[in-house]
Amino acid sequence: EPSANGTYDQGTMVTITATARPNWEFVEWFGDVNDTQNPITVAVDSNMQVTASFASIFTQYMLTLDTVGQGAILLDPEPILGTYDSSTVVTLTAEAALGWEFVEWQGDVATATNPESILMNGDKAVTAVFQEIVVPSHVLEIDTTWDLRDAVEFANNNASVDTIRLVTSGGVYTSYSTSDVAILKPLAIVAANGLAEKPIITHSDPEHANLDVFRVFDDFYLRGVVVDGAHPLSYGMKYAIRLRHYTGTDSVRTGTNVTAIDVDFKNFYELNNPQADGHAIKLDVDLVAGTIRFEDCTFDNFGYEAIRISETEKYVTDRALDSLIIRNCSFTNIDAECVRYYSDLDTLTADAPVFLEHITINNSATRVFFLKNSGGAVVRDIIVSNSRQSGHGRDADIMEIQGNGSTITHIDTFNVLPVPIKGTKGATVAEEFLYGIDPQYEAADSLNYTLLPNSHLYGLGSDGEAIGDLNWATNTPVTVSLTVAVVDSGSVTLSPPPIGLTYDPGTVVTLTAIPEANWEFLEWTGDLTGNNNPDSLTMDGHKSVTAIFKLMVGIDNDSALPKVFDISPNYPNPFNPSTNFNFQVPKVSVVSLVVYNILGQKVRTLANQSFEPGFYKIAWDGRNDLGSSVATGIYIYRFEAENFVKIQKMILMK
């Protein structure tokens, strides 16, 4: 016998005996000993390996298996060295792939029974036939008894399924598989309509090996759900959605689109460590996605960037994706940028379109966006409020947008660090549309960012809507606007100035008319009348006031008086948000200047009164007679005085 550690002293003579089981017999030794003697004695001069070969005393038969469709055949018992003893009874079990079903056996077994048995009294051949399960309307409806990965694999395997519908209100959909929930074909996962609560998606890998809730390789559409990385059934996920090639197997299809609509992403910290990283989406190296789109989504509690698409400089490519759209979304407690995106380094190639618009950000790192070398990006209608310092040192600015033609406009910041909004490498910041207004949230501590009726952000956006995520702009605003027009040469100052474009109801505003040289103030018309200067107006509703100036007595201007009625083309045109009209009146006349939309409906009356001879200028601020901002589009203005009529087009472009 060998020593306790399984070894022999060199030169030891060892006798080896092969003992066959019933119905088997010894055949030979092979390896470091090749012989048919049994037993056999050998000298152990070095490390040795010896194998005893046995053979059944019965005749041996082969069982050949095949499948049609997706599935497998299980055997009981398994063959030994590829064969069975004669008269062995083998149980055949057909196991269909998810999304498929067993139909029948063919060959030496020709039944639809499953499991089935076969007697090995000769060589046999058996085929298991599987077919796809027919799924009505291409929709697989699942409740929470399903493992989420099983449902996705069902869809991956079944050509008729393009949608998985979650039907349990507030139910938790998870997977206990140690493998990824992988989207390998175009697939939508949506909540059923009419559910009282959104279904919750997470991952429960018992080995804690998976970091992704979804690994995406092809088009993926997600709607109406909560994706929770730290649900009690989870262990702390790092990524909600990740695009990354598998080594040597599945690859992300070039042009893969990812769309999330009305999805709440929350609580992503790897292994539930609040100091660890976490992302809602990450695009890894060596891939080019299609359109990545998030609309009507929330992002709460992330350990790093919520949206990370910043690996582009690590591989040769002209883009990371075809377009990036983030619209009507809200971000809370993000420890780095809400969006970190890199285009490519080559300035000669066109950059992918990027739109970040109508976004509300609260209690997050100081820097909310970093778009690197992203020419032509549009960043507008953003609220950034109640910033905190980043655990990753992202506090040097509110945002930095890089790239020729990129624009940053209509940004409201409140209770943030005094650091800049930066447009670099050709990007521009519309300073006149940067605001510092309290958004007036209903209950920010409860993640309720509904704008109260007295919020001055209503109507302040680039499109005439509220600034920020429009899902929170649900109240009827009570703030009021003051529209001021000027006739002839002068200007008007307001004290206090409006908050954005509006006032709180009841505010008393002092208007001061300031004439230009050689002109003097004549009177107020509209909701303020008389010639007191300055004068006051109580804002108990939307108001419109015109300040009229006249040439000072003693100034010889007869030669300069116009000879005919006329109006010049408005300027600028296109415009945003205001434009000017210059017109001339040769004699005392009633002048009408009215703006219409393309359908011929009246939008705003700018003038309908008597004018002395002279040259006049009236501005239009892009609002209707009710004081509301109008939409982008083509408008028509009609100028009429006595028998003179002139009609022209203009474009409001926001």
* Mean pLDDT value across residues 547-565: 73
pLDDT, tens digit, for every residue of 621-641? 898 988 888 988 899 999 999
Instruction: Report the distance separating Cα 512 and Cα 376, nearest Å.
Output: 41
496 preceded by a cis bond (ω within 30 of 0): yes
531-555 burial by CB neighbour count: b if 16+ within 10 A, else e? eebebebebeebbbbbbbbbbeeee
The full set of domain ranges for the chain reads 12-56, 67-132, 137-472, 479-556, 561-654
Residue 38: its pLDDT value, please? 95
Secondary structure E strands in 552-601:
566-567, 579-585, 589-597
Find the angle CA(508)-CA(510)-CA(511) to the nearest 5 degrees: 135
* Mean pLDDT value across residues 413-425: 97
Residue 487: its pLDDT value, please? 87
- Structure-model confidence comparison of residues 502 and 560, the more confident one: 502
Whether the predicted pLDDT of 78 surpasses 70: yes
Rounded to 5, what percent of the chain is helix, strand, coil? 5, 50, 50
- Phi/psi at 190 (nearest 5 deg)? -135, 155
Q: What is the dihedral of CA 473, 474, 476, 481, to 10 degrees?
A: 10
pLDDT, tens digit, for every residue of 174-208? 999 999 999 999 999 999 999 999 999 999 999 98
Q: Using DSSP, state whether 414 is helix, strand or coil.
A: strand
Residue 558: its pLDDT value, please? 55
**Is CATH 1.10.1060 correct for 137-472?**
no
β partners of residue 65? 126
CB contact at 8 A, 205 and 178: yes
Residue 555: its pLDDT value, please? 44
Find the angle CA(261)-CA(262)-CA(264) to the nearest 5 degrees: 115
Confidence of residue 222 (pLDDT cuts 50, 70, 90): very high
Q: Which residue has the tokens 């505010």?
A: 507
Confidence of residue 553 (pLDDT cuts 50, 70, 90): low
Element (H, E) at 151: helix 148-157
pLDDT, tens digit, for every residue of 255-291? 999 999 999 999 999 999 999 999 999 999 999 999 9
CB contact at 8 A, 157 and 100: yes
Residue 473 neighbours by CB under 8 Å, 6+ apart: 451, 457, 458, 465, 466
* Mean pLDDT value across residues 502-529: 94
The pairing of beta strand 212-216 with beta strand 239-243: parallel
- Phi/psi at 431 (nearest 5 deg)? -60, -30
CA-wise closest residue to 230 among 177, 278, 298, 165:
278
Residue 13: its pLDDT value, please? 92
Instruction: Report the distance separating Cα 41 and Cα 20, nearest Å.
Output: 18
CB contact at 8 A, 521 and 487: no
* Mean pLDDT value across residues 89-95: 98
Q: CATH for 561-654? A: 2.60.40.2550
In the Cβ-directed half-sphere of 588, how many Cα atoms lie within 13 Å?
Answer: 0
Whether the predicted pLDDT of 614 surpasses 90: no
- For residue 434 the two structure tokens come to 């940067």
Residue 556: its pLDDT value, please? 47
Confidence of residue 559 (pLDDT cuts 50, 70, 90): low
First to last CA, the chain: 92
* Mean pLDDT value across residues 34-51: 93
Instruction: Report the distance separating Cα 107 and Cα 443, nearest Å.
Output: 71
Residue 337: its pLDDT value, please? 98
Instruction: Calculate the alpha carbon distances from 446 to 332, 450, 593 in Å.
Output: 11, 11, 49
β partners of residue 188? 163, 221
* Mean pLDDT value across residues 144-169: 98
Alpha-carbon dihedral sign for residues 164, 150, 152, 147: positive
- For residue 547 the two structure tokens come to 């300040």
Whether the predicted pLDDT of 106 surpasses 90: yes
- For residue 186 the two structure tokens come to 């175009």
pLDDT, tens digit, for every residue of 332-386? 999 999 999 999 888 788 899 999 999 999 999 999 999 999 999 999 999 999 9
Residue 517: its pLDDT value, please? 82
Instruction: Report the distance separating Cα 172 and Cα 150, nearest Å.
Output: 15
Confidence of residue 615 (pLDDT cuts 50, 70, 90): confident
Whether the predicted pLDDT of 408 surpasses 70: yes
